[in-house]
Amino acid sequence: MSKADVVNEIHRNARVNFPRRNVITKDIDYLWQADLIDMQSVTKENKNFRFILTVIDTFSKYAWAFPINTKSKEDIGDTLNNVIYEYNHTYHRTIGEIPANVNNKSKQQILQRYLILVKNDNVKRKFKVGDYVRISKYKGTFERGYTPNWSTEIFKIRKLQNTIPTTYLIEDTIRGQPILGGFYAQELQKTKNPNIYLFEKVLRRKGNKVLVKWIGLSSSENSWIDKSN
């Protein structure tokens, strides 16, 4: 393998947009989502209410809305009752049910429906434990094209996580230390050159040896190598 092969690897295109892990809600009231709607520009048209607090149960899709003035909970506004009632009594295709009808008897059926809708890609695992990989380096909109898309440092797959989609745990190959967090397959690239590193500059010379600074590694990793390398 040549230096050109390594350069091609680290400048290969990297994906930024791809499916991330799904959040599976397991029960009623397991996960709520809330948001605050700023209505200060139209307070006169909303009975002087300045904000609306909206809440939805992500399992049943049941929703609430509370008009508030000082970000403290208030009684539900009369004008919102019909809207919320209509939402909660409308059929939702995702759960195959009307949110207001979801109860302890029907929640198991809804959970099974969620699990069917979420496709498990574990049969399509791209990497295996022991594979050597590079990590994607996301670019900003105006970052120059000559900067690498992938890390110059090499990592090793140490564990496959049974998530949807599959995520991977890695460790650095120099110190053997685990890297925090899981990585998607699209954030990793299997390297064909696990033993080749590019050096940034020669720091010292001594006989047939040179002290080099490696690209992408800290100064603590500076090392002596043969001139022939």
Question: Could you tell me if 79 and 110 lie in one domain?
Answer: yes
| CA–CA dist 126, 136 (Å, integer) | 15
CB 27 within 8 A of CB 44: no
- Confirm whether 24 is domain-assigned: no
Are 77 and 103 members of one domain?
A: yes
Q: Are residues 109 and 146 in the same domain?
A: no
pLDDT in tens, 157-172: 999 998 878 899 999 8
Nearest residue to 120 via CA among 161, 169, 77, 172: 161
The answer to whether residue 74 sits within a structural domain is yes
Last residue of a domain, one of 70, 90, 117: 117
Q: What is the pLDDT of residues 13-71, one digit of tens each?
A: 777 777 777 777 777 777 888 888 888 888 888 788 888 878 888 888 888 887 777 76
Q: Does residue 181 fall inside a structural domain?
A: yes
Q: Coil, strand or helix: which one is 46? A: helix
CATH code assigned at 177: 2.30.30
Residue type, 192: K
Q: Which residues pair with 201 in a beta bridge?
A: 213
Question: In this structure, are 151 and 183 located in the same domain?
Answer: yes
Same domain, 202 and 184: no
Are 66 and 111 in a shared domain? Answer: yes
Q: Give dist(CA 113, CA 96) in Å, integer.
A: 8
Do 36 and 107 share a domain, yes or no? yes
Q: Other C-beta atoms within 10 Å of 196: how many?
A: 15
Q: Say if residue 102 is in the same domain as residue 129.
A: no
Report if residue 75 sits inside a domain. yes
pTM (2 d.p.): 0.52
Q: Are the C-beta atoms of 114 and 23 separated by less than 8 Å?
A: no
Q: Are residues 159 and 102 in the same domain?
A: no
Span 193-217, pLDDT tens digits:
777 777 767 777 877 887 777 776 6
Q: Into how many domains does the chain fold?
A: 3
Verify that 108 and 45 share a domain, yes or no: yes
Structural domain boundaries enclosing 225: 197-229
**Co-location of 167 and 204 in the same domain:** no
Locate 152 and state its tokens: 């110059």
